[in-house]
């Protein structure tokens, strides 16, 4: 009994090349994972080069280029706001 019915397999050099490439990539990724596991090291995460660069009095505001975008959305069809006003309000200054 064949799973694919009566279809025949036609091996080509391109299919063999892609198969070898895929096996190579999977083995390379597995070797990185095994190395991380055996050395008990984590993946590199961005860390500061100098800790405590800014003191407690430094304010990183809009004049220094700090911008934040915020949006509250809901999927209700009503016109009344669905957010609880007790959580505060969003004030936009230009």
The pLDDT confidence band at residue 11, using thresholds 50, 70 and 90, is confident
Domain ranges across the chain: 13-77
- Residue 57 is predicted with a pLDDT of 82
pLDDT tens digit string along 25-79?
Answer: 999 999 988 888 888 776 666 666 777 777 778 777 778 777 776 666 666 666 7
* Three-state SS annotation for the chain: CCCCCCCCCCCCHHHHHHHHHHHHHHHHHHHHHHHHHHCCCCCCCCCCCCCCCCCCCCCCCHHHCCCCCCCCCCCCCCCCCCCCHHHCCCCCCC
pLDDT of residue 64: 75
Task: Please state the pTM of the whole predicted model.
Answer: 0.36
């Amino acid at each position: 009994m064949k799973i694919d019915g009566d279809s025949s397999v036609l091996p080509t050099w391109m299919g063999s090349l892609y198969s070898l490439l895929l096996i190579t990539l999977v083995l390379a990724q597995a070797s990185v994972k095994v190395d991380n596991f055996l050395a008990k090291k984590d993946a590199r995460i961005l860390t500061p080069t100098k800790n405590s660069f800014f003191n407690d009095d430094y304010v990183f505001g809009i004049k220094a280029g700090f911008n934040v975008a915020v949006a509250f959305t809901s999927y209700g069809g009503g016109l009344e706001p669905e957010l609880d006003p007790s959580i505060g309000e969003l004030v936009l200054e230009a």
